[in-house]
Chains A and B, each alone.
Chain A
Amino acid sequence: METEGLREFYRAHQPRLVGVISLLTGSRAEAEDIVQEAFVRLVPRWQKVSRYESPEAWVRLVAVRLAANRHRDGNRFTQLFHRLPAEHVPDPADRYAGDLEQALAGLPMPTRQVVVLHYVCDLSVAQVADTLGIAEGTVKSRLSRARDALSDSLLLRSDDHA
């Protein structure tokens, strides 16, 4: 019975969570791995987490942290082998690469987390601060910097459409 409940939960929230995490990682394939890992960690805790007011918030938080960890580990790896030429290999799973996505990928990970949780997950500033364990003022300043950085890409896109 518990497995069926978890299966329904997975069907309902896994795709959207992949979409959210894709904006953090810049790669849908990597996002799928991360979300899969988050759900694997949910399985042994499902009885407890299912009684939470918002179980999807638990999985989302795990996935967001996993994405941040991978990003940090990836940076360390890059620094370790910084003498090797950085070659960008496009992910065949990512067929959409717009200006906005590229601009988002250019933001620091902490700023990206704030943007995604606020604009995509519809969390308030206070909720974002609580989720990430930072001050509300920090959330606001990061959102401000993100808007400035992303406005260029939006303007460019508007010019293209004009």
Chain B
Amino acid sequence: MPDLQEDLQALADRKAAESAGDFDSVLTAARSRKRRLTAGLTVLGAAVVVGAVAVVPTLRPAHNAPVADSPVPTNLVAPPQVSEQPNPAPVVKAGPLTLTSAKALVAGGQVVASFPDKQVRNVTFNLASAAKPDVPLYTLVAKVPGDASTPYSMKVIPGESGIAIPQYTSAGPYTLALPKGLAAGSYQLCTLSGAKLCGLVTVK
């Protein structure tokens, strides 16, 4: 149908010839639209910030006071409960053992132990590393008046028991001799009889 195409094109050409375009107004409209878009985004951003600031207080936790006669469960929070569990094995609390010249001792040096509770005890003591107080290293026998063989120390060998000790008791003070081969470090010295008393000895 060539007539139809020619007529339609002629009609379009006639309309085109009558049209009056203005490129500058196109540019102006495009630029002002861009400015409006930028301003709109700025306002939108500010609104988002304001909204966020307004929302934050509403996110605070509600108070937990229960409402009387409330038909719905309130925000009551149960307080934490503390249950007391008895200690099955009472631990013997180590009391202080007063030691003189307990610092800067050398191996083989002597230290004087006295009991604050003034209780009568045997002449035997335990020496263990301060890092492992439950593992006795030596049994120390304090100086017994009239016994020139005292004081001395005996290395504790696991599995062996029944050592001979002087039958002497006193409320102290006792003079003890540290083993000669003792390495430098901190040691715990404890009584072996009566209420347990301990003190720290430092060997350099």
A residues adjacent to B (C-beta < 8 A): 3, 6-7, 10-11, 14-20, 22-23, 28, 31-32, 35-36, 39-41, 43-44, 93, 95-96, 98, 100-101, 104, 115-116, 119-120, 147, 150-151, 154
Contact = CB atoms under 8 A, between A and B. Distances in A.
A19 B14 contact: yes
A18 B18 CA distance: 9
Contacts of A16: 12-13, 16
Q: Is the interface of A mostly helix, strand, loop or mixed?
A: helix
Interface in B1-58: 1, 3-5, 7-9, 11-23, 25-27, 29-31, 33-34
Nearest to B24: A7
Contact of B26 (A39, A93, A100): A39
Interface string B164-190: 000000000000000000000000000
Given A18-B19, A19-B13, A93-B18, A40 B26 contact: yes
Interface of B: 1, 3-5, 7-9, 11-23, 25-27, 29-31, 33-34
A7 B24 CA distance: 9
Given A44-B30, A119-B9, 9 more contacts: A7-B23, A16-B12, A28-B18, A41-B30, A44-B34, A100-B11, A120-B5, A151-B4, A154-B3
30 contacts: A3-B27, A6-B23, A10-B21, A11-B21, A11-B23, A16-B16, A18-B15, A18-B19, A19-B14, A20-B12, A22-B12, A23-B12, A28-B15, A28-B18, A31-B15, A32-B20, A35-B21, A36-B29, A39-B26, A40-B29, A41-B30, A43-B26, A96-B11, A116-B12, A119-B5, A119-B8, A120-B5, A120-B12, A147-B1, A151-B4
A147 B4 CA distance: 8
Contacts of B5: 119-120
B188 to A, nearest CB: 83
A95 B19 contact: no
Given A19-B19, A32-B19, A119 B4 contact: yes
A14 B20 CA distance: 9
Contacts of B19: 14-15, 18-19, 28, 31-32, 35
A95 B22 CA distance: 21
Contacts of A41: 30
Contacts of B9: 119-120
